Chain A
Amino acid sequence: MSSRSLEILLLAVLVLTAAGCAAKGHADAPARPSRTLRVCADPNNLPFTNQKLEGFENKLADLVARDLHATVRYTWWPQRRGFIRNTLKAGTCDVVLAIPSSFELALATRPYYRSTYVFVYRKDRGIHVRSFDDPALKKLRIGVQMIGDDGNNSPPAHALASRGIIDNVAGYTVYGDYSQPNPPARIVEAVAKGEVDVAVVWGPLAGYFAPRQRVPLEIVPVSPQIDMPFLPFVFDISMGVRRGDAKLQAELDQVLERRRPEIDALLDRYGVPRV
């Protein structure tokens, strides 16, 4: 069997597996929708998306589809290196639910939220860190997310290294163990368990998982928002379509504008910190 037909088979299996849940997700959709919104998403990455359609981006997809009188059809693919290539560019879908607005591999819609990296720590530890320049960071155990060895890393990892804060920093791979639910969430759990005193993570991840820990956690946006010479901690997030698909982009832009209050309410429900 060619790898191509294997891919198709794989997708078919995934779509079938997801089908039951998908039906539930569209209970309030029009009876006979005339179009399909083909979406690619990670099957295992709350609070963003999962195969049970529990993520806020899943809900966003429903919301947009309702507005377009469409139903959502998912193609599942882990959101890591090669994601856009194997999804949007391979033609298995027309929309991805989130990209940084300045992302070059896809055409971005207007941003639908702006969030920030945040410090996460236990409320019972007497920690009050708000800035990378807080001297307390030289002593606390700090968790950051690591991307890999090939020219990429998370902004907090860079910000701490440039301040000489190295020996007390623990790396948690952003990829995690994909056999576990929501692999990037381990770093927030590590704060609750006391493995680290402070974690610096992307806002939506913290906003969702922090309230679900057994101990109360504090979430504080990092400062500065942009470290010198150019290291941003604040990102605009858009939906993404294939480069050149300006028609769909314009359509989605209108929906995002029209549904702004509902989208904001959705983001609030999931605790997405916004700036």
Chain B
Amino acid sequence: MRSSTDSFFLRKKGIFWFAALSLVLTLGGCRTRTEAQDQETPAPSAARSAALSGARIAVPAAGQDDGQWLMPAKNYASTRYSELSQINAQNVRNLKAAWTFSTGNTRGHEAAPLVVGSTMYVVAPFPNYLYALDLTNPGSTKWVYKPPVNPAAQGVACCDHVNRGAAYANGKIFYNTLDAQTVAVDAETGQEVWRTPVGDINRGESITMAPLVVKDKVLVGNSGGEFGVRGWLTALNAQTGEIAWRAYSTGPDDEVLIGPGFKPFYAMDRGKDLGVKSWPPGAWKTGGGTVWGWISYDPELNLIYYGTGNPGPWNPDQRPGDNKWTCGIFARDADTGQARWFYQIGPHDLYDYDGINELVLLDLNVGGQMRKVLVRPERNGYVYVMDRATGEVLSATPFVHVTVSTGVDLKTGHMNEVLAKKTGVGKVVREICPAAPGAKDWQPSAFSPRTGLLYLPHNNLCMDFEGVEANYIAGTPFVGANVQMYPGPGGHRGEFTAWDLMAGKPRWKVIERFPAWSGALVTAGDVVFYGTMDGWFKALDARTGQELWKFKTGSGIIGQPITYRGPDGKQYVAILSGVGGWSGAIVAGDLDPRDGTAALGFVNAMRDLPQYTTKGGMLYVFALP
């Protein structure tokens, strides 16, 4: 077994050849933005700023930003962009903690708080209490909803017991519990309106994702690929909690909700019952493709977009074929769930690259033409820009050091893979970059129409897949892959990158000691916020990346920052602190730092985290004095 020191040394010899990997295709054309135009206040409208950046949010909120935060991604376009500008690049250095709130929960806090009127809503990790906090009397609790959950869930569910947040619509708060129930709670009273079991924790199905509410439907997807479950996205009636439809990620077309309206852009995604035929017989039944990430919605096209997780079981030799419809992006009719198109980012995935990341919907100037695109910073290390009406890949540009592929063939849609990096039983494969959590895991990016930049919190990790290690599940011994993760080029584990969508390259980046595992938030005040795993909540100048302010919270941050206008008319910024999740399991799960392969090899890369942070969930809310 190789020590982390060796790995670290090797990594240092690596060259930062990120730019060299850039694809030839450029988005460019008329990049007219100038750096000098950011002095004005108040914020220009999104439409006007499009002229500056060549990009605009596809689905801007109607009229002015109302100062609320109703869904984790802020809007259906998933930009996490707020038009509030009271806090701006000039005054953010004066930001002070206004109030705090303890969840009393020591698991990883990945959720975004919501703000509806004068109430804030916070979902905590398992057992998934929902807190309603009175913003007119900061920190005081209006009510707590405690869902009846199966206490065995935490022994049965995989990984840390995170929850990525709730969504608000029509007087109700909707969210999911770890033991696979979807609940609707009256936002005013805290009374349960309905509660629907959507999966079976006894079969390994759990839910960690935040739902998205589109018209009269609540959209929910499952987790549990580690247990060989079959992935799905389900729509529930928002009024009654009844299941309206379910679209599986594997299996026959009628169960995947593929019909005559299904028009994938690439030939590789066309054909009847590929969810069955691209697998060995019957293997699709335990094929994975779980839906534990983000969903976006385009009201004009009436399409929802989401990604599917990696295929199971592990050992790709056991599932020859493309393993449809795992590791790809679905566009579906928002009402019926019928698939419109699909693009498989990673046919026959080898590296646990779950394709569940966020999809940012923008109107972008591509080659002089405004195109309706979706932007997907993907686990495999590429930023994909796709036509969201058709599923065509317009560009795919690496944003980290990538060793396992050399780029996407835009004619066929195929990823060009490096065969030498193929993993297998008993085979040693070194320097797999990015590592299994990807260049970027679930941690959502933010986009500002004022700068045209996509703000990416991400990882800089590689891994070795080597040898075998004895393991034991349910009385059955076996040997598993010995995965060791370590820092990528530069020796640091995280980066916060401002990605210039028009140029297809980074405008600036901030180096982080640990993986940047929190979400990002950007505002019309040209400030971008994110948190670090060692507990710093930071504000950067959205244009230059200069650090303007930071605050040390009680625990590492893996949550999603939000901003809102309080009942007093002031702008606030809020973040949940509380380390955990896959990367933070070494702290939240008290894993042994001597065992580098714990948490699927992530502990090897995180041995020093306990020296920087301890666990404990706390909400922090900041404002100008």
Contact = CB atoms under 8 A, between A and B. Distances in A.
B125 A98 contact: no
Contacts of A47: 475
Contact of B472 (A98, A157, A175): A98
B470 interface: yes
Contact of A42 (B311, B474, B481): B474
Interface in B462-509: 465, 467-481, 483
Interface stretch (A29-37, A124-132, A224-232): A224-232
B477 A148 contact: no
A110 B479 CA distance: 20
Given A103-B472, A174-B474, A155 B228 contact: no
B590 A85 contact: yes
A153 to B, nearest CB: 5
B200 interface: yes
Interface stretch (A1-9, A17-25, A60-68, A256-264): A1-9
Given A81-B226, A103-B471, A149-B312, A166 B318 contact: yes
B476 A169 contact: no
B389 interface: no
A155 B594 CA distance: 26
Contacts of A235: 470, 477
B352 A149 contact: yes
Tell me whether chain B's interface is mostly helix, strand or loop, or mixed: loop
Contacts of B471: 100, 103, 152
B438 to A, nearest CB: 13
Contact of B589 (A82, A101, A161): A82
Interface string B189-215: 000000000001111100000000000
Contacts of A162: 317, 425
Nearest to A169: B280
B278 interface: no
Given A48-B475, A205-B476, A3 B155 contact: no
B56 interface: no
A174 B226 CA distance: 11
B473 A81 contact: yes
Given A10-B151, A157-B315, A150 B600 contact: yes
B425 A149 contact: no
B260 interface: no
A167 interface: yes
B474 A149 contact: no
B266 interface: no
B315 A42 contact: no
Contacts of A248: none
A105 B595 contact: yes
Interface residues of A, number: 74
B441 to A, nearest CB: 14
A1 B477 CA distance: 37
A177 to B, nearest CB: 5
Nearest to A105: B595
A267 to B, nearest CB: 14
A11 to B, nearest CB: 10
B283 interface: yes
A148 B151 contact: no
Nearest to B428: A229
Interface in B62-110: 104-107
Given A2-B104, A86-B155, A80 B468 contact: no
A231 B479 contact: yes
A154 B594 CA distance: 25
A170 B476 contact: no
Nearest to A44: B474
B158 interface: yes
B592 interface: yes
Interface of B: 104-107, 125-127, 151-152, 154-156, 158-159, 161, 200-204, 225-228, 280-283, 285-286, 288, 309-315, 317-320, 352, 425-427, 436, 465, 467-481, 483, 589-592, 594-595, 597-598, 600
Given A48-B475, A153-B318, 6 more contacts: A6-B151, A90-B590, A146-B228, A151-B352, A152-B480, A175-B473
| For the complex of A and B, 8 pairs with smallest distance between CB atoms | A149-B312, A152-B480, A151-B481, A229-B426, A100-B470, A178-B202, A161-B317, A179-B202
